[in-house]
Every structure is written in structure tokens, then in C-alpha cells.
Amino acid sequence: MKERLTLTLEKDVLKKVDKTIDGYKVKNRSHAIELLIVKSLGVNVPRKAIILAGGKGTRLRPITYELPKALIPIKDKTLTEHLFDLFKKYGIQDIYLAVGHKKEKIIDHFGDGHRYGIKIRYIEEDEPLGTAGPLRLGKTVLNEPFIVSNGDELKDIDIEEMFKVHKRNQALITIALTTVNDPSSYGVARLNGSQIVDFVEKPTKAAAPSNLINAGFYILEPSVIDMIGKGFQMLEKDIFPKVAKMGKLVGFPFSGQWFDTGNMKRYERAIKEWKGVK
């Protein structure tokens, strides 16, 4: 429930407020002020994010014999720093890196994050735990909605809009979905409205239920962690199907940039075409 307030502001401040009004995302002066307050309080996006950076990067060998994927360069920055840029754009400064393969190099490079204007903490895997297993290790601090991002993709996503969709649908997990011309190399989303029914793994182009694929970027409710078993667990195989059966797995199609850097061909394309977080 909203309440009406009367505010008195300097004219110069109001001029800056009015410049944010576009008639679409920001409808009027009242809406602009509301959005600015919400943003300053940090309630329009999750406050914590986990980057999954523990993989061995076997498809990027021989580069990953020496460098972990998290430190692979793209446009004069590491792959991970581009994800930092996305989170900083939305004021998300509490970042956890789930690290395993060559984790010492990653920790030495990024440290506590102060050089990047963020706070970095580490979830350390002694053995591979998949995309879900590391979340169990972070259960004590993941006590509110949080973001999980694969570490080997570049993406420019409107996190505010994604969080609105997540809350509006009362989702347990919301998955960012990107469009590709040929989805035959990916898991393809089958949707019923905004709900994800399932993912069809690597269908032929003709048989694909859509052109929407998992972009490796999720918003999760903390209760999801209780569904994760011990040891090696995958979000994609072990958790998403359970949540889909509950009707609580939601898709968020987005039109921003997305590049998979998982093999040499895709990595080369990302170097050439990625424009950075806008």
C-alpha cells in the first residue's frame, strides 16, 4: 500500500529529477522520486551475488592450463571484471566468488575487491561441486533473494526489471533467457506464459520449442538451498526440474548483449563483438 507525501525540494534538484523522466520506465515526477528513493535504499535489486568460477575450462585449453577462466582477458579486463561492472551498475557490491580450479590465482588477483569498488568473499571448493553445490556452502550468508551467475559468459541484463518479474510471479527461481538463431547447442526453454515448464536439451533447430536459452543468470530465493543435496549438484539437472514442477520456475527474456565464452570459437567472437556493460 502506498501513501501520499508532500516534499519540498530545491529547484536544481527537481531539474535533475525531471531529466530522468522518459514516459516509459519513468512515467512522471512522482514516479521518478519513488524510483530514486527505492534505488538508494537498495530494495529494487538483490543485494548479494554469486559468480560461479570454479570450473576447469577444459574447452579453452591450452589457455586454462595456466589461467583459470575467471582471469581470461576480454577487452583489457578479465572476464569476471565485466560481471563486476554489471553488478556495480545496479549498486550490488556484495559479491561471492565460488572458486575451485586454480583458486589461489583467483584469490590473489581479486583480493577483497576494494580495487573494484566492491566487497568480495570466497566460497572455496575442495572438490568440484557443480553449479548448485557451492550454494550449500554459502547457506549461512544467503538469507535473502540473491543472484547466481555463471562465470564464463558476458551479459548485460536489466536486473531491476528481472527482480520485478521475480517478485511479481512469486518465483523461487527466475532464469534470464536470451534469444539465439540456432538453439541446437543449448538447453531450450519450453514456456507456459512466464513459467518455464522444462528445458529441452540440444534439440534440432526444427524441433526446438523456442529460441530462448538459459543465459546462465538467476535470481534465487534462499529456501532453494534446502533442495540442494550434498556433494556435486547441478542447478540445471537437480534443482530446476523440481522447482518447475512446483510452478515456481520463471523465465525472464531479455534483449541485452550475451556472449558465451565456453570454447575457443565463442571466446573469439566475444572478443570481437562484446561492447561492455552499457
Evaluate if residue 224 carries a pLDDT over 80: yes
Q: Are residues 235 and 207 in the same domain?
A: yes
- The DSSP call for residue 47 is S
The reply to whether 2 falls in a domain is no
Evaluate if residue 38 carries a pLDDT over 90: no
Evaluate if residue 42 carries a pLDDT over 60: no
Q: Are residues 30 and 101 in the same domain?
A: no
**% of the chain with per-residue pLDDT over 70:** 91
Q: Are residues 152 and 127 in the same domain?
A: yes
Distance of CA 82 to CAs 41, 99, 107, 215, 228, Å?
24, 17, 17, 15, 29
80-120 pLDDT, tens digit each: 999 999 999 999 999 999 998 888 999 999 999 999 999 99
CB 219 within 8 Å of CB 46: yes
Residue 260 corresponds to which cell in the numbers above? Answer: 558465451
Average pLDDT over residues 66-74: 85
Q: Are residues 185 and 205 in the same domain?
A: yes
Q: What is the model's pLDDT at position 207?
A: 77
The lowest-confidence range among 14-23, 115-124, 125-134 is 14-23
Mean pLDDT of the chain: 86
Q: Which amino acid type is present at position 255?
A: S
Q: Are residues 78 and 33 in the same domain?
A: no
Q: Are residues 34 and 131 in the same domain?
A: no
The reply to whether 6 falls in a domain is no
Q: Are residues 25 and 97 in the same domain?
A: no
Domain that holds residue 28: 11-40
The reply to whether 95 falls in a domain is yes
- pTM for the model: 0.83
Q: What's the CA gap between 28 and 72, in Å, rounded?
A: 43
Q: Are residues 139 and 177 in the same domain?
A: yes
